[in-house]
Homo-oligomer: A and B are copies of this chain.
Amino acid sequence: MDKEQGGQGQHARVLDALGPAITAGDYPPGSVLRTDELEQRYAVSRTVVREVIRVLESMHLVASRRRVGVTVLPAEEWNVYDPRVIRWRLAGPDRPRQLRSLTVLRSAVEPVAAGLAARLATPEQCAELTSHALGMVATSRGRQLAEYLVHDVAFHRVILRASGNEMFARLGDVVAGVLTGRTQHGVMFADPDPAAVTLHVRVAEAVRERDAERAESLTREIVTGAMAELDVLAP
């Protein structure tokens, strides 16, 4: 019938409007959304609304029950590991808390991942690691934060992937979100902490030398520093 504006896909459009609204808390837990209401508000067919609802339901953001409507679930029920939920929450009002939660998760996971990576990393991965560590060194001075961030994210992604654990590997996006969020949010002007840069280089060394103990404890220093840094910046 019509093929108006739309980005690419009505489904994505409505989802990217409703999802962030819910995770932002615009609809308090227990709120009821009616299908036909959403139909009108976003000017789409029932099909689209229902599919969006089904996706939100699969993220445990809402629960759909007959005769009552689509009720918003409390935050404790949400699938907080869903990449989209993480993105939405990082873009919303409780971004500080989200950043904290994710950093704590990092502090638990990354040291163990680094220890495993020291035992399992392939030569190629070791090379990538040192390459990115050197890249961090090269971009650590003179306001090259964007370039530094790229290497930082890539470094941690390799560590997580090299751990050989699929659950760890899947946290690459989380770490990327945290690091990006920190760069954007925090000190856009100050250069990165030189001590942190050095630690990354030493982690790369430890992995290359298959020293699991050292890789783990060095990484623990990195994430401890990250948490301390967060304490300074965030309320």
Contacts and interface: CB of A to CB of B under 8 A. Distances in A.
Interface of A is mostly: helix
Given A81-B82, A82-B82, A108-B109, A101 B51 contact: no
A96 to B, nearest CB: 13
Contact of A165 (B82, B104, B170): B104
Contacts of A58: 55, 58-59, 82, 84
A50 to B, nearest CB: 7
Interface in A129-168: 165-168
Interface stretch (A29-37, A72-80, A190-198, A207-215): A72-80
A122 to B, nearest CB: 16
Interface residues of A, number: 34
A102 interface: yes
A75 B166 contact: yes
A105 interface: yes
Contacts of A102: 167
Nearest to A105: B167
A160 to B, nearest CB: 11
B104 A169 contact: no
Given A104-B112, A108-B109, 12 more contacts: A11-B54, A50-B51, A54-B54, A54-B55, A81-B81, A81-B170, A101-B166, A102-B167, A104-B116, A105-B167, A108-B113, A109-B109
